[in-house]
Structure 1
Amino acid sequence: MTDLFFYGTLRYRPLLELVLSEPGVSLDMVSADLPDHQVYEVQDQPFPMILPAPGQSASGVLVRGLTVRQIERLNYYEGGFDYDLRPMTFYVSSAQEVEAQVFFPKEGVWTPGDVWNLDAWARDWGELTLHAASEVMAFYGRLSPAEIAKNFRPIRVRAAARIAAAARTPNPHHDVVRDVLVEQHNRGYLNYFAMDDIVLRHRRYDGSMSDSLNRAALMTGQASVILPYDPQRDRVLIVEQFRAPVFMIGDPAPWMWEAVAGMIDPGETPEQAALRELREEAHLEARALESAGKAYSSSGSSAEFVHLFVALAEIVEEISAGGLLSEGEDIRSRILSFDTLMALIDREEIKDLPLLSLAHWLARHRERLRG
C-alpha cells in the first residue's frame, strides 16, 4: 500500500477514478499541504507543475493505501508527461506531519507560468482531459508512456472533436440512447490518427433492431479547409503536397493539389485555425473568411469533421517552402485564375474533395464577392 499526494489535475475526482479504473471506489482522501512549494501552470499546456517556492504552500489531497495496480496505472498515466515520483513530507489538516510520494516534473522539460487554479482548469479543460485520459488509459499494457507522449497533441485534438460532436443538433427522429445498442467497443490503434472498431445494433426504419454490425472508423478530429480567393484579380491559390494514403492505395500521383487545410487545436476556433493554416501553408493573411459549409468528410469510414472557408486575400506570390518542418510538411503553392481552376475540375484533374466543394461554392458566390 502506498500514499500519494495529488496537487494538480488528479485532484479532479472523475479523472482520478478514470485513471485508477475504479469509478466510485472508496478512496481514503484527506486535504494536505506541501510546505515551501507552489503549483504553477505549464506554459502552452493544459496541466500544472510543482516547484520549490520558499515560504509558499502547495495545497492538494493525500490519498492513502493505493494498491500496486493503482500505482502502476498512475505511473503509466503520469509517465507520459515526464513526471517522476519522489518521497516528501506533508502536513495534513491537523498540522500532523506525514510521509507520502508526489509526482514531480523532470527538470528542464516544462516552463512554469502563473499560479495554477483547479476550478479554472476544471471549467476550461476538465471534460477534454477526461476524453483524452480515456483514450490514453485504453492503451495501458499495450503502449509505453513514451509512445503515448508523442501522440498527446492528436489525442487532445480528438478529445476536443468529441466535445464538439456531442454539442451538435440531435436528430429529432432518432434517440441514440434508445436506438443504438453498443455490444463491444475497442480502441484498436493509436498514432497521429487512431482506429476504433465497434460491434453494435441500430434501429431499422421498420422499427426492429438490426443484426450485430462490426464496423471500424478512422478517428481524427476537426479540420479547417480554406480556399484563398482574390476578388480583385479573380484568382485563387491552391497548394500541393505528398499524401501518404494516396500513395499507399497505389495511386501513381500522390502529390495532391488541395485547398489549404489543418487540424483544429483544442481551445481554437475553426476561424482561428483557418487563419493560422493560411500563414503556415501559404504565407497569406486573409482580410475576411467566408463560411462555405461544415460536414463530415467521409461519414462511412472517418470521424473527421471539416469547416470549409473561402478566404478573401491579396494573392500575388507563390511559395515553394510552405508548412512546418516539425510536422513533416513540404508544401508549394500555385496561383490560378478562377476559370483555370474550374477547367482543371472539368477535366477531372483535381482529386481533393474539399477543394472541389469549395470551388463549386465559390462559383455560386463569386459575383457577390467580386462586387
Structure 2
Amino acid sequence: MADLFFYGTLRHVPLLEVVLGRTADTLDITPAHLADHAVHWARDEVFPMILSAGGETARGVLVRGLETEDIARLSYYEGGFGYGREIVQLTLENGESASAEVFFPDPGLWQPGAPWSLEDWVARWGEVSCRAAQEVMGYYGRVSADEIATRFASIRRRAASWVAARARPADPARDVTRDVVVERHRFSHLSFYGMEEADLRFRRHDGTMSPVLNRSAQMVGQAAVVLPYDPVRDAVLLVEQFRAPVYLAGDPAPWVWEPVAGLVDPGEDPEETARREAIEEAGLVVRRLEKAGEAYSSTGSSGEYLHLFVGIADLTRTTDSGGLDEEGEDIRSAIIGFDDLMAGIDGNRYRDMPLLVTAHWLARHRDRLRAEG
C-alpha cells in the first residue's frame, strides 16, 4: 500500500478514475496541501508543474492505500514524461500531518509559467485529457511508457477530435446510447495514427439489432484543407508530396498533387490550422478563407474529419522546399490556371478527394470570388 499526493491534473477525479481503472468510491481521497511549494503552468504546455516556493502552498488531494497495481498504472501514465516520486510531509484540512509520495518533474524539464488553476484547466482541457488518458491506458501492459510519450501529441490530437465530434448535433431519428451496443472496445495499434477496434451491434432500419460485427477504424483526428485561389489571376496553388499510404496501396505513383492540408492541433481552430499550414507548406499568406464544407474523409474506414476551405491569396511564387523537416515533409508547389485544373480533374489526373471537392466548390463560387477580387 502507498499514499500519494496529487497537486495537478490528477486532482481531477474523472481523470484519476481513468488512469487507475476504478471509480472514486473505491478510493480514500482527502484534501491536503504541501507547504513551501507552488503549482504553475509549465510554460508553453497545457499541464502544471510543481516547484519549491518559500511561503506558498500547493493544494491538492491525498489518496491513501493505493495498491501495487494502482502505482504501476500511475507510473505508466506519468513515467514517460520525466517524473519521479519523492516523499513529502503534507498538512491535512484538520491540521494533522501526513507523509506521502509525490510525482515531481525532472529538474529543468520545464520552465514555470503563470500560477495554475485546476478550474481553468478542467474547463479547457479536462475532457480532452480524460479521452487521451483512455487511449494511453488502453495500451497499458502492451506499449512502453516511453513509446507513449513519443506518440502523446498524436494521442492528444485524436482526443481533441473525439471531443469535437461529441459536440456535433445528434441524429434526431436515433439514439446511440440505445441503438449501438459495444460488446468490446480495444485500442489495437499505436503509431502516428491510431487504430481502434470494436465488436458491436447496431439497430437496423427494420428496428432489429444486427448480429455482433467486428469493425476497426484508423483514427486520425481533424484536418484542415485549403485550396489557395487567386481571383485576379484565376489560378490555384497545389502542393505535391510523397504519400506513404498511396505507395502501400500498391500505386506506382505515390507523389500526389493536393491542396494545402494539415492536422488540427488541440486548442487550435480549423481556420488557424489552414493559415498555419499555408505558410508551412507553401510559404503563402492567405488573405481570406471561404468555407467549402466539412465531412469525414472515408466513413467506412477512418475517423478523420475534414474542414474544407478555399483560401483567397496572391499567387506569385512557388516553392520546392515546403513543409517541416521534423515531420519528414518534402513539398513542392505549383500555380495552375483554373481551366487547367478542371481539365486535369476531368482527365483523372488528380487523385486526391479533398482537391476534387474544393475544386468543384470553387467552380460553383468562382464568379462571385472573381467579382469580389
Q: Work out the CA distance in 2 between the residues paired with 1:189 and 1:45.
A: 26
Q: Percent identity?
A: 56
Q: Work out the CA distance in 2 between the residues paired with 1:249 and 1:300.
A: 16
- Partner SS state of residue 229, structure 2: strand
CA contact (8 A) 1:17 1:25 kept: no
Q: In the TM superposition, what is the alpha-carbon distance from 1:159 to its structure 2 partner?
A: 0.8
Partner of 2:230: 230
1:62 to 2:62 alignment: yes
- Partner SS state of residue 128, structure 1: helix
Partner of 1:17: 17
CA contact (8 A) 2:288 2:311 kept: yes
Q: In the TM superposition, what is the alpha-carbon distance from 1:370 to its structure 2 partner?
A: 0.2
1:152 to 2:157 alignment: no
Letter of the structure 1 residue corresponding to residue 232 of structure 2? Q
Partner of 1:106: 106
Q: Work out the CA distance in 2 between the residues paired with 1:180 and 1:97.
A: 50
Listed one character per residue, the Cα deviations across residues 255-312 of structure 1 (whole Å, up to 9, x for unaligned) are: 1111100011111111111111111111111111000000000000000010000000
Cα RMSD after superposing both structures: 1.1
Q: In the TM superposition, what is the alpha-carbon distance from 1:96 to its structure 2 partner?
A: 2.9
CA contact (8 A) 2:13 2:24 kept: no
Q: In the TM superposition, what is the alpha-carbon distance from 1:330 to its structure 2 partner?
A: 1.1
Counterparts of 1:340-359 in structure 2, within 5 Å, are: 340-359=340-359
Partner of 1:136: 136
Counterparts of 1:104-253 in structure 2, within 5 Å, are: 104-253=104-253
User: Which is further off, 116-125 or 20-29?
Assistant: 20-29
Counterparts of 1:208-357 in structure 2, within 5 Å, are: 208-357=208-357
- Partner SS state of residue 26, structure 2: coil
Q: In the TM superposition, what is the alpha-carbon distance from 1:60 to its structure 2 partner?
A: 1.0
Counterparts of 1:72-111 in structure 2, within 5 Å, are: 72-111=72-111
Structure 1 stretches lacking a partner, 5+ long = none
Listed one character per residue, the Cα deviations across residues 136-178 of structure 1 (whole Å, up to 9, x for unaligned) are: 0011100111100111111111111111111111112222122
Letter of the structure 1 residue corresponding to residue 350 of structure 2? I
TM-score normalised by structure 1 residue count: 0.98
1:364 to 2:364 alignment: yes
Q: Work out the CA distance in 1 between the residues paired with 2:78 and 2:128.
A: 17
Structure 2 stretches lacking a partner, 5+ long = none
Q: Work out the CA distance in 2 between the residues paired with 1:25 and 1:249.
A: 49
Q: In the TM superposition, what is the alpha-carbon distance from 1:42 to its structure 2 partner?
A: 1.2
Q: Work out the CA distance in 2 between the residues paired with 1:323 and 1:112.
A: 31
User: Which is further off, 10-19 or 28-37?
Assistant: 28-37
CA contact (8 A) 1:77 1:145 kept: yes
Count of residues in Structure 1 that have an aligned counterpart in Structure 2: 371
Q: In the TM superposition, what is the alpha-carbon distance from 1:210 to its structure 2 partner?
A: 1.4
TM-score normalised by structure 2 residue count: 0.97
